[in-house]
A and B are shown apart, each in its own frame.
Chain A
Amino acid sequence: DIQMTQSPSSVSASVGDRVTITCRASEAINNWVAWYQQKPGKAPTLLIFGATSLQDGVPSRFRGSGSGTDFTLTINSLQPEDLATYFCQEAKSFPLTFGGGTKVEIK
């Protein structure tokens, strides 16, 4: 199974700050990575697919980068509504696996 190691597990930042979340895959996975946002008590929503492509309707302050084994989700100019947990997911092989999650809190 491919392991997705996500860091940090939590981050606290102020409105307007830039937040960076990373995921490292245990083997090369090309660009087959997605990022999801999950608000408390809700289902996840897709933010980024193919490592860098923004899903329709997602604000442009969300940006994905990386390829191979190292991937990054950047939230530029953090907004109050970005309070959530963020997960990466690899889509190279079964079983599909997710990172452990990063909880983003607003200072």
Chain B
Amino acid sequence: QVSLVQSGGRVVQPGTSLRLSCVVSGFSLSNTAVHWVRQAPGRGLEWVALLSSVGNNHYRDSVQGRFTVSRDLSRNTVSLQMNDLRHEDTGVYFCTRRRPVSGVDYFDSWGQGSLVTVSS
């Protein structure tokens, strides 16, 4: 049974940092890519970052240099470290798994979401 369980969302002030976690089960991070997708309140979905199965990263331009995705294989955990947070980073953040076998970035399993609110 594939599962992604998230934690770490909360209210923070602009310019501060926050770390989100995503504990996975039912698959291995060694052979499956994990992405982060966010959704501003009442808005659509926005891709944020990728951590590939071999540990490579890719980020959208607006978070490049501020956000870092990492993993701990021993704990089956993917983390999103967010620094210098801005009001426009507010939203629900989802971790999501790349659909295996397809070789293309479709997302077949999702975490429950973590609400990040950046407010002074």
Let me know if B73 is at the binding interface, CB within 8 A: no
Which residues from A are CB-within-8-Å of B46?
A: 98
Binding-face segment, A18-26, A70-78, A89-97: A89-97
Contacts of A36 on B, CB cut-off 8 Å? 45, 107
Would A43 and B47 count as touching, CB distance under 8 A?
no
Interface assignment of B108: CB less than 8 Å from any CB of chain A:
yes
User: CB-CB < 8 A to A87: which residues of B?
Assistant: 44-45
CB distance from B92 to the nearest CB of A (A): 9
Contact, CB under 8 Å: A99 / B107: no
* Contact residues of B between 40 and 96, Cβ < 8 Å to A: 44-47, 50, 58, 60-61, 94, 96
Whole-angstrom distance between the Cβ of A95 and the nearest chain B Cβ: 4
Q: Which residue of A55, A91, A96, A98 contacts B108 across the interface (Cβ within 8 Å)?
A: A55
Interface pair B44/A99, CB less than 8 Å apart: yes
B19: Cβ under 8 A from any A Cβ: no
B99 — which chain A residues lie within 8 A by C-beta? 46, 49
Q: Quick one: which of A34, A45, A96, A101 has the most chain B CB within 10 A?
A: A96
A95-B107 in contact (CB<8A): no
Residue from the list B58, B104, B105, B110 in contact with A45, Cβ < 8 A: B110
Do A49 and B44 touch (CB < 8 A)? no
Is B102 interfacial (CB-CB < 8 Å)?
yes
Task: Tell me if A32 is interfacial: C-beta within 8 Å of chain B.
Answer: yes
